[in-house]
Amino acid sequence: MSMRHSDDTESHETHEPTLRVNALHALEYCPRLFYLEEVESLYTQDARVFAGRALHESLAQEDADVAEKQTLELESATLGLRGKLDALRRRNGRWIVYEHKRGRAKRDADKRAIAWESDRLQVLAYGMLVEESTGEIVEECRVRYHEDNAVVSLVLGAAAREEVREAVRRARALRRSTERPPVTSDANKCVRCSLAPVCLPEEERLAKDPEWSPIDLSVKDLERRSLHVVSHSARVGKRGDELEVVVRGGDTERVAIGEVGSVVIHGGGQISTQALHLCVDREVSVSWVTGGGRYVGSVAAAGPTVQRRVRQYRALSDGATCLRLAKALVHCKVESQLRFVLRATRGSEAGRDGELGRELDGLRADLRGVSRSDSLQTLLGYEGDAARRYFGCWRWLLGEGLDERLLYSGRTRRPPKDRVSALLGFGYALLLGDVTSALIGVGLEPALGVFHQPRSSAPPLALDVMELFRVAMVDMAVVASLNRGQWNADDDFTLAGERVWLSDAGRKKFIEVYERRKGEEWKHSVVGYSLSWGRMIELEARLLEKEWSGAEGLFARFRLR
C-alpha cells in the first residue's frame, strides 16, 4: 500500500532542493550547527567523524552476505528529504529501519535506554523515506548504540511523521535566512561538536559575559608545515596524494598532502593545475611572493560564502562600524609597538630620560589619540605618527657589536634600501599571504576592509588584520635574529644599486625564522588559552567575522605581555 499524506504536498510545491536526513540530525542537535553546515557549507573532520565512518564500513562488511540487510540511498521530493540509511530488515512481513550509532544511548530516570532526540528524528525520517520508496507501511524504527550495546525501538506513528515534517519546515526556513542562529544554551553540546573550532561558541559566550571562562575547543595544531618553493626553476606537481617539487637539474622532493598546511611559491616557481586542485580540495592555501619579496596573491578553499559576505558587506558599509573596528586594530598595533620597545629596552643603558624617553612619551600620546579619534583620517594620522616614532626607537633595540651594514637607519619599502628593511619587507609579505589565506578560508572578502583603502594589489582587509601581527610575528623575530648574529651582510643579501634584496640563502634563512615564530605558542590574553601564532591569525579572522554576527567585542583585544 502506497503511503501519502496530505501535508506532504507542501514540500512538493515549493520545489526546493531536498535536505539530507543527516541535516535534520544536526538541526535537532543544534540549529546553529545545521546552519553552519547546510547554509554556510562549513565542515570539519575530527577523530570522532573518522571513527563513525569506520564503524559503518565495518558494519557494511559484516552485512555483505546477509540478504535481509541492505544499505539504501533514497530521495523523495514529496518529503523533501534524501539520505543513505544504515540497514533495512524484513521481519514478519514488515520493514524495520535501523540506524547505527557509535556512542551510548541516552538513559531515562529509570536508567532505561532511550534514543537521543537527534538520533530519534533521523531514524524516523529514514522510516518515512522507506515508506515513500517501497509503498509499504513502516511501523517500527530502531537505533543501535554500539558502545553500550543498546537497541532502542521507536514507533513511526502519526505524531512522529508530523514531527519530521515540522523539522523539514524549520530547516527550510533557516536555509532561506541570512542570519546565523545563536549559540546553543547547552555548553556541553559544544564540547562534543566537530564544528566548535569554526563556530567558536566559548569565545562568543565570553563576548556576551565577561565573567565566562572559555575552554579551548579548537583543533590542535597538526603536524603540518608550510612548503616554501624558493628555487626559480622549481615546479610543483601532483603524484597521487603527494606534492612533488622538481628543481631543474636538481633534486626531487615529495611531500604527502596531509603534511602540508600551506604552499608559498617564491619568484619564478610554478605549480601545476592538478597540484592546485589537490591543494584546494585538501584546504591547503597557495600563495605567491615575488623574488624581491612582494606579496602577489593567494588561493584558498572557501566553499560557498554568500551569507558570510552578505553580512560583511552590510556591516562594513556602515561608517561607524568601520571606525570602531579600525580604532580597535590600530590601538592593538600601537600598544604592541609600545610594549615591545619597553620590554626590549628594560634594564638597558638606553636612557629613557633622553631621546628614547621622548619617543616613548610620543607613542603613549598617540595611543591616547587613537582612542579619541572621531574619523578614519584622524586615526590614520595617529597611526602614521606612531609608526614613525616606533621605528625611530629601533636603534636602541639592536645590540652592540653588529655589523654596521645591519644597523637600522629608517624604514624604506619599495625598494628596500638597507638590509633591515629588506628583512622586514620579506617578513611582511609572508605574513600578508598567511593573513589573506586565513580570511579566504573563514569566508570573508579580503578586498573590503575597515581601515586601509584599495590603493594597490594588496587586499585592504588583509592589510587591516595584518596590523595586529606585524610586531609579534615579524618585528620581534627580526630584532631577535639580528641580535643573535644570524645574518651575514654579504652572503644573505643582494645589492642592485640602491636596492637591497635577500639572496636565495637569505630567503631560506628568513623562512626558517618566520616559520619557527609562527609555530611558537602564546597564551592569548583575552580567551585565556594557549595557541600558536599561526592559529592566532585564524582566530582573529573568525573573531572579526563575529563583530557583525551578533558577538562583537573580542576582535583585536589581545595584547603582548
CA angle 466/317/333 to nearest 5° reads 25
Q: Verify that 292 and 324 share a domain, yes or no.
A: no
Which residues contact residue 67 at a Cβ distance below 8 angstroms, ignoring those fewer than 6 apart? none
Q: Verify that 400 and 496 share a domain, yes or no.
A: yes
> 473: closest CA among 333, 362, 356, 331?
333
Asked if the structure places residue 440 within a domain, the reply is yes
Q: Verify that 509 and 493 share a domain, yes or no.
A: yes
Q: Verify that 329 and 415 share a domain, yes or no.
A: yes
Q: Between the CA of residue 191 and those of 43, 218, 219, 532, what are the distances in Å? A: 16, 10, 12, 21
Number of domain units in the chain: 3
Q: Compute the distance between CA of residue 354 and CA of residue 339 in angstroms, rounded to an integer.
A: 18
The Cβ of residue 38 has, within 10 Å, a number of other Cβ atoms equal to 19
Residue 155 pairs in a beta bridge with: 140
Predicted pLDDT at 12: 43
Q: Are 111 and 150 in contact (CB under 8 A)?
A: no
Q: Verify that 285 and 333 share a domain, yes or no.
A: no
Q: Verify that 151 and 234 share a domain, yes or no.
A: no
For residue 422, the enclosing domain spans: 306-351+394-546
- Among 257, 279, 299, the domain-final residue is 299
Q: Verify that 283 and 321 share a domain, yes or no.
A: no
CATH number of the domain enclosing 86 = 3.90.320.10
If you count them, how many residues does the chain have?
A: 561
C-alpha torsion 81→84→86→91, nearest 10? 60
Written as one string, the DSSP assignment of 134-147 is HSS---EEEEEETT
Which residues contact residue 133 at a Cβ distance below 8 angstroms, ignoring those fewer than 6 apart? 72, 74, 76
Q: Compute the distance between CA of residue 383 and CA of residue 418 in angstroms, rounded to an integer.
A: 23
Predicted pLDDT at 351: 62
Q: Verify that 243 and 326 share a domain, yes or no.
A: no
Which residues contact residue 193 at a Cβ distance below 8 angstroms, ignoring those fewer than 6 apart? 29, 30, 33, 199, 201, 217
Predicted pLDDT at 258: 85
The Cβ of residue 57 has, within 10 Å, a number of other Cβ atoms equal to 10
Residue with cell 578553499: 301
Q: Are 143 and 101 in contact (CB under 8 A)?
A: yes
Cis, bond preceding 415 (omega within 30 deg of 0): yes
C-alpha dihedral sign at 488, 489, 495, 500: positive
Q: Verify that 289 and 427 share a domain, yes or no.
A: no
Residue 235 pairs in a beta bridge with: 246, 270
Q: Compute the distance between CA of residue 248 and CA of residue 236 in angstroms, rounded to an integer.
A: 11
Return per-residue pLDDT of the chain as tens, 561 residues.
334 444 444 444 457 889 999 999 999 999 999 999 888 887 654 444 434 444 444 544 454 444 355 667 899 999 999 998 888 888 888 899 999 998 899 999 999 999 999 999 999 999 999 999 988 999 999 999 998 899 999 999 999 999 999 999 999 999 988 888 999 999 999 988 888 888 889 988 998 888 888 888 876 545 678 899 888 888 999 999 999 999 887 788 899 988 888 899 998 889 999 999 998 888 888 999 887 778 888 888 766 678 888 889 999 999 999 999 999 999 999 999 999 999 988 866 556 668 888 999 999 999 999 999 999 999 999 999 999 999 989 988 987 778 888 888 766 666 788 899 999 999 999 999 999 999 988 889 998 999 987 766 679 999 999 999 999 999 999 999 999 999 999 999 998 877 888 998 999 999 999 999 999 998 888 888 888 998 899 999 999 999 998 888 899 998 887
CATH number of the domain enclosing 429 = 1.20.120.920
CATH number of the domain enclosing 248 = 3.100.10.20
Global pTM reads 0.81
Q: How many alpha carbons lie under 13 Å from residue 386 in its C-beta half-sphere?
A: 27
Q: Verify that 147 and 264 share a domain, yes or no.
A: no
Asked if the structure places residue 133 within a domain, the reply is yes
